[in-house]
Amino acid sequence: MSESRETIQPVFRALADPTRRAIIRMLAHGPRPIGEIASAFAMTRPAIAKHLAILRDGDLIIVEPKGRERINHFNPAALKAATDWLSYFDRFWDEKLEELKRLAEHKKGSS
Amino acid sequence: MSESRETIQPVFRALADPTRRAIIRMLAHGPRPIGEIASAFAMTRPAIAKHLAILRDGDLIIVEPKGRERINHFNPAALKAATDWLSYFDRFWDEKLEELKRLAEHKKGSS
DNA sequence: TTGACATGAAACCTTTTGGTTTCGTATAAA
DNA sequence: TTTATACGAAACCAAAAGGTTTCATGTCAA
């Protein structure tokens, strides 16, 4: 009842940082080694390496060792956990909309 | 280009904590004052108050002052920003699936 | 008007986060 | 077989996050 899957925490955690979201967008357009990713940001390679570790933890990227490089691939399937969690609230939309509308009316009346 | 809206950061930040996600689920079933929310968790009221502040920052809840109570209402509309961000990646699904499939095959071959 | 209650707010503490610099190591290339 | 390159890993640091206890305040109810 509490949370559909325990795998959801690492995903939402990964999505919480703007740099990591930017990395996801970048890798969506094609796999890249760390060095190439790092050169696109105003921070050092080790900093990016940590972000990649967190993304890996959420299974959002998969690493392909290739010679002395390590190619990072985006794994869109991992986003499904987050999407599912969010879609649960679709059914509350109409109901809550009415509730909040009434609330706004009252507030207007008492101003 | 970087991020559809700057309003997305407070939303993803709010969603990153399991307690806050639990509060959202609770409030989806009906508005509640702080005290009632706090009594459902193994932490103090001020701790919950901080979580509510972060949720408010992401516009995920709206407060209705009512006498000496402050009723917290869930605002599902605020989740749209996150949903939209995620849905952008739907179009990469098939493409990446193939890419990762080939990757898995290669790995199998070289083990 | 006095007391109880629901809450906000401040001060404080510990752990996590997001970054850095420095160093070690495996692979590719000269 | 050197040398350059791409990376991982460790040690360190400041700031943010997630809690706590304590106190002040506004509102309801006797």
Dump pLDDT digits (tens) for B56-105: 999 999 999 999 999 999 999 999 999 999 999 999 998 888 888 888 87
pLDDT of res. A105: 76
Higher-pLDDT residue of B51 and B109 is B51
Neighbours of A83 (CB within 10 A): 15
A103–B contact, CB cutoff 8 A: yes
Match 């996150």 to its residue by tokens. B82
Q: Does A96 touch chain B (CB under 8 A)?
A: yes
pLDDT < 70 positions in chain A: 1-6, 106-111
* Amino acid, single-letter form, for residue B104: A
- State the amino acid at position A62 in one-letter form: I
Q: What are phi and psi of B75, to 5 degrees?
A: -120, 90
Say how far apart CA B111 and CA B101 lie, in whole Å: 16
Report how far apart, in Å, the C-alpha atoms of B79 and of each of A20, A55, B8, B56, B91 are: 19, 22, 9, 12, 21
> Strand C closer than 7 Å to the CB of A67?
yes
What is the pLDDT, as a whole number, of residue B8?
A: 97
Nearest nucleotide to the CA of B45, by C1', is C7
Which of the 8 DSSP states describes residue A2? Answer: -
Q: Which CATH class is domain B8-109?
A: mainly alpha
Beta bridge partners of B74: B61
- Describe the strand order of the beta sheet including A61-66 as a list of residue ranges: A32-33, A69-74, A61-66
> Which of A2, A106, A21, A8 shows the shortest CA–CA distance to A61?
A21
Q: Which of B19, B56, B83, B107 to mutate to test the interface with A (most CBs of A within 10 A)?
A: B83
Give the mean pLDDT of B37-53: 98
CB nearest A73 (choices: B24, B85, B99): B99
Give the up-direction half-sphere exposure of residue B57: CA atoms within 13 A in the CB hemisphere: 16
Query: d(Cα A53, Cα B13) in Å, to the nearest integer?
Result: 19
Euclidean distance between CA atoms A25 and A32, whole angstroms? 12
B28 touches chain A (CB under 8 A): yes
The CA distance from B46 to the nearest CA of chain A, in Å, is 22
Average pLDDT over residues B1-17: 83
pLDDT of residue A110: 46
Contacts of B48 (CB under 8 A, 6+ apart): B19, B23, B34, B37, B38, B41
**Count of all residues that appear for chain B in the document:** 111
Q: How far is the CA of B67 from the C1' of C3 (A)?
A: 18
Chain B residues with CB inside 8 Å of A24's CB?
89
CA of B23 to C1' of C19 (A): 31
The set of strand D positions with any atom below 7 Å of a protein CB reads 5-11, 17-22, 26-28
> What's the pLDDT score for residue A102?
87
Mean pLDDT across chain B, nearest whole number? 91
- Which pLDDT value is given to residue B78? 97
Q: Taking 50 as the threshold, does the pLDDT of residue B110 lie above it?
A: no
